[in-house]
């Protein structure tokens, strides 16, 4: 009875005006009913009609409305008595009993109203906390699945719905092995039973990489972390699931990028070496041709057959020497001016991809890296692989230069100049370069590394200059070295033409 009354009270408005208006309406209704039934009941039960009104007013309105109805009903009853002389002792005792009952009912109603208000406030707080917790869980990127000791799903987060393709309404109440392919599916119930029996933890609190299964049957790698919670007498297991598909794709992409960079690095190194050899061989070949021509002039004074044969041989030697020089010149021009596969690329993306490859292991070696890139998406017309080769060389050189210093800070920045060129800077906090090395650092076979070939920076210069930019080195303020190179930003007209 009290639960039903409590439910009714909770559904009614709680304003003061409503409670006192209800008390007044109850008193008037009870008085009218008393008038209607007075001829039937007489004075046998003078306050019987008023008791329900007092009970309802006290239970719903509390102390004030309950006392108000009690007083109004008492006044209404005594209104039928014309003089105080007609009041009997029995009527006084009955009135006192009614006042006691009415007051007690009002006090009980006040207690019930306060209890109801506290319960309502507590319930609202719990609902707010639940809503707050649910909103947090709905925004967590990792999927969350809660199961009981039998492996039955009790809760399925929004992220889990997106990840597995099942809705919470469909999956709740099902066994969690529905989310697993074979052989995990067949062995899952046994894993839970073994843990409940032995207490041996093989995944709880540890985490592991397994395979999940979507609703459509497709499989994907996941990182699973499981926690344990006890509520009342029930034990629950909470699983946090992270999709590793993107990570695997990123790893594959990094491996492909590394292979491409290694491949192009070999060809670039060969091209730079060929360019250097062409430059170095061109002069001796020209000298040989001149010496051959000079020797032929010396033989022109002799008219014998041997001299004639020698002159012919020397003419042919000079022709072949000039031919070799022409081949070398063409090779040099080809290496220096060969066309590359240039496309409009996002510079920030190029730097991020090159950094992901070049900075592998840098954090473990104590290198702190900062990328201060322009927030705008700068577009450049470049050969992506070649520019990433330049960035890779500069980043790796910077990391190696800091291995013998205590402070290891690597900063990569981009800035746009007024002339439309973008300056990319790679700064380290290493020991720096001496003036002698700095002035020749971009020449082939100049290196500060014990086992280096001295071609990396020479290759980088060739690539940057072929793209219409420049590369140079500066001393970093406070110690270290800063390499800078420029690339020309793509104009709107060029971007539309390149589409």
CATH number at residue 204: 3.30.450.20
Residues 116 and 149 placed together within one structural domain of the fold: no
Residues 452 and 327 placed together within one structural domain of the fold: no
Residues 416 and 476 placed together within one structural domain of the fold: yes
pTM: predicted TM-score of the whole model, two decimal places: 0.44
Q: 337, 361, 376: which is the final residue of a domain?
A: 337
% of residues, the chain, pLDDT over 90: 7
User: What does the pLDDT average to over 136-159?
Assistant: 83
Q: Of the ranges 25-39, 47-61, 71-85, 460-474, which one carries the lowest mean pLDDT score? A: 71-85
pLDDT band at residue 131 under the 50/70/90 scheme: confident
pLDDT band at residue 426 under the 50/70/90 scheme: very high
Q: Of the ranges 13-22, 194-203, 230-239, 484-493, which one carries the lowest mean pLDDT score? A: 13-22
pLDDT of residue 82: 45
Residues 190 and 329 placed together within one structural domain of the fold: no
% of residues, the chain, pLDDT over 70: 70
Residues 324 and 370 placed together within one structural domain of the fold: no
pLDDT of residue 32: 75
Count structural domains, the chain. Answer: 4
pLDDT of residue 18: 75
Q: 337, 361, 384: which is the final residue of a domain?
A: 337
| Domain ranges, residue 210 | 143-243
Structure tokens at 62: 């509390």
Query: How far is it, in rounded angstroms, from Cα 117 to Cα 10?
Result: 8
Burial bucket for residue 215 (CB in 10 Å: 0-12, 13-18, 19+): middle
pLDDT of residue 447: 59
Structure tokens at 459: 């290759």
Residues 356 and 494 placed together within one structural domain of the fold: yes
| Residue that has been written with the tokens 């987060």 in this structure | 157
Residue 282: Cβ within 10 Å count: 17
Residues 200 and 171 placed together within one structural domain of the fold: yes
Q: 136, 160, 186: which is the final residue of a domain?
A: 136
pLDDT of residue 76: 67
Residues 392 and 332 placed together within one structural domain of the fold: no
DSSP states of 193-254 as a string? HHHHHH---SSBTT-EEEEEE-TTS-EEEEEEEEEEEEETTEEEEEEEEEE-HHHHHHHHHH
Residues 266 and 399 placed together within one structural domain of the fold: no
Residues 300 and 273 placed together within one structural domain of the fold: yes
pLDDT of residue 86: 56
Q: Roughly what angle, to the nearest 10 degrees, separates helices 50-61 and 2-11?
A: 60
pLDDT digits (tens, 9 = 90+) for 15-70: 677 777 777 777 777 777 767 666 665 554 556 667 777 777 776 767 777 777 77
Query: How far is it, in rounded angstroms, from Cα 330 to Cα 278?
Result: 9
């Amino acid at each position: 009875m009290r639960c039903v009354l409590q439910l009714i009270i909770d559904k009614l408005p709680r304003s003061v005006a409503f409670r006192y208006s209800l008390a007044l309406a109850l008193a008037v209704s009870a008085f009218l009913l008393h008038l209607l039934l007075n001829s039937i009941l007489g004075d046998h039960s003078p306050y019987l009609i008023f008791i329900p009104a007092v009970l309802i007013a006290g239970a719903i309105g509390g102390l004030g409305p309950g006392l108000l109805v009690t007083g109004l009903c008492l006044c209404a009853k005594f209104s039928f008595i014309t003089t105080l002389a007609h009041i009997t002792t029995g009527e006084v005792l009955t009135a006192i009993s009614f006042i006691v009952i009415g007051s007690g009912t009002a006090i009980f109603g006040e207690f019930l109203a306060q209890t109801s208000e506290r319960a309502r406030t507590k319930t609202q707080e719990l609902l707010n906390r639940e809503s707050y917790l649910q909103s947090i869980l709905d925004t967590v990127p990792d999927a969350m699945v809660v199961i009981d000791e039998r492996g039955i799903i009790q809760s399925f987060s929004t992220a889990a719905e997106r990840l597995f393709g099942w809705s919470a309404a469909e999956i709740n109440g099902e066994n969690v092995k529905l989310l697993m392919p074979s052989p995990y599916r067949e062995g899952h119930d046994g894993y839970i039973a073994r843990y409940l029996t032995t207490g041996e933890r093989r995944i709880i609190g540890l985490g592991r990489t397994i395979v999940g299964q979507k609703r459509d049957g497709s499989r994907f790698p996941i990182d699973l972390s499981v926690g344990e919670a006890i509520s009342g007498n029930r034990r629950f297991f909470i699983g946090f699931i992270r999709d590793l598909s993107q990570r695997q794709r990123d790893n594959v992409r990094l491996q492909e990028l590394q292979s491409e960079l290694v491949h192009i690095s070999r060809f670039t190194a060969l091209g730079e070496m060929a360019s250097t050899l062409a430059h170095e061989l061109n002069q001796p070949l020209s000298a040989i041709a001149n010496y051959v021509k000079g020797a032929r002039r010396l033989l022109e004074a002799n008219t014998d057959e041997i001299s004639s044969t020698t002159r012919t041989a020397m003419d042919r030697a000079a022709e072949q020497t000039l031919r070799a020089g022409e081949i070398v010149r063409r090779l040099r021009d080809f290496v220096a001016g060969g066309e590359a596969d240039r496309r409009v690329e996002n510079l920030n993306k190029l730097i991020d991809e090159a950094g992901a490859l070049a900075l592998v292991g840098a954090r473990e070696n104590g290198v702190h890296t900062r990328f201060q890139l322009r927030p705008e998406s700068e577009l450049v017309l470049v050969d992506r692989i070649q520019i990433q080769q330049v960035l890779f060389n500069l980043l790796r050189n910077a990391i190696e230069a800091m291995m013998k210093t205590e402070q290891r800070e690597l900063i990569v920045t981009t800035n746009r100049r007024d002339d439309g060129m973008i300056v990319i800077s790679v700064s380290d906090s290493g020991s720096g370069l001496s003036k002698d090395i700095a002035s020749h650092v971009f020449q082939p076979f100049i290196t500060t590394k014990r086992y280096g070939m001295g071609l990396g920076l020479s290759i980088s210069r060739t690539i940057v200059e072929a793209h219409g930019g420049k590369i140079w080195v500066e001393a970093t303020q406070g110690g270290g070295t800063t390499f800078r190179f420029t690339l020309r930003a793509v104009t709107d007209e060029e971007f539309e033409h390149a589409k």
